[in-house]
Amino acid sequence: MKLYIVDDDEPVRRALSLLARSEGLDAEAFDGGAAFLAAIDGIEPEALSGCLLLDICMPDTSGLDVQREIQRRGVQLPVIVITGHGDVPTAVQAMKGGALDFVEKPLDVDDLLARIRRCLSGETARRQTSHGRQVARQRVALLTPREREVMQGIVAGLRNKEIARELAISFRTVELHRAKVMEKLDARSPSDVVRIAMLSEVDSRQP
């Protein structure tokens, strides 16, 4: 299996390629969405395996466009999207479109490698099974109504001061609620909160 890296930032692309290869992963990098789509054009979808590490904001073809196109072609590569700071709403769109995971810049090397390995092993996909959705729903159920409102602010990509303004509470109160949200959801980052919240919503819509 291969790690496909699609990012228009050359230093980031080079660093990710070196990192992947230093960990014994087969990596191939592309400088944009169009280059990646051209490279896999004509390849049978079943022949593509591995994981796609996809920058969401690129000038030629956005990550969301790439995601839609590979779905149209029937390509089943699991996708981890890379977002810039404060671009959580776009990451939410990507996950609603089928992405399995997302990471935020600046990238944490150890965390990124762990996510890539989970993606390649299929563990990330397994976490989104009915059992994974049930666990997410159970965690969200632990939140108080106010903590749930703060969680929704995090999912919307709002900063603490923006959440405080929207909820008409103090910044310090938001900080305290946010810490409780992270603890109860067993989340280490905003991206974890987004994943758990989305899985919980999916579960709640099941018949």
Selection from 65, 38, 41, 63 nearest residue 52 by Cα: 63
Token pair 């067993």 is at which residue?
186
User: Residue 161: CB partners within 8 Å, gap ≥ 6?
Assistant: 171, 174
The dihedral region occupied by 98, where left means phi > 0, alpha psi between -120 and 50, and beta the remainder, is left
CATH superfamily of 2-127: Response regulator (3.40.50.2300)
| DSSP-derived 3-state class of residue 92 | helix
Band of the pLDDT at 207, cuts 50, 70, 90? very low
Query: Is the model more confident about 1 or about 193?
Result: 193
Say yes or no to pLDDT of 186 above 50: yes
Read off the pLDDT of each residue in 172-198 and give the average, rounded to a whole number: 92
Cis check for the bond before 190: say yes or no (omega within 30 of 0): no
Decide: 64 and 96 in contact? Cβ < 8 Å. Answer: no
Query: What are the residues whose beta carbons fall under 8 Å from the beta carbon of 83, sequence distance 6 or more?
Result: 56, 57, 90, 91, 102, 103, 104, 105
Q: What pLDDT does 206 receive?
A: 38
Distances (CA, A) of 96 to 6, 29, 67, 180, 189: 20, 25, 11, 26, 19
51: pLDDT strictly greater than 50: yes
Looking at domain 130-204, its CATH architecture is: Orthogonal Bundle (1.10)
pLDDT recorded at residue 93: 84
- Sorted by where each begins, the domain ranges of the chain are 2-127, 130-204
- At residue 205, the pLDDT reads 37
pLDDT of the residue at 122: 83
Treating both helix axes as pointing N-terminal to C-terminal, what angle do 63-73 and 88-96 enclose, rounded to 10 degrees?
0
108-153 pLDDT, tens digit per residue, is: 899 899 889 988 888 666 666 777 889 999 999 999 999 999 999 9
Q: Which of 3-12, 158-167, 189-198 has the lowest mean pLDDT?
A: 189-198
Q: What is the mean pLDDT of residues 155-179?
A: 95
**Which of these, 107, 56, 106, lies nearest to 80 by C-alpha position?**
56
pLDDT at 128: 66
pTM to 2 decimal places: 0.78
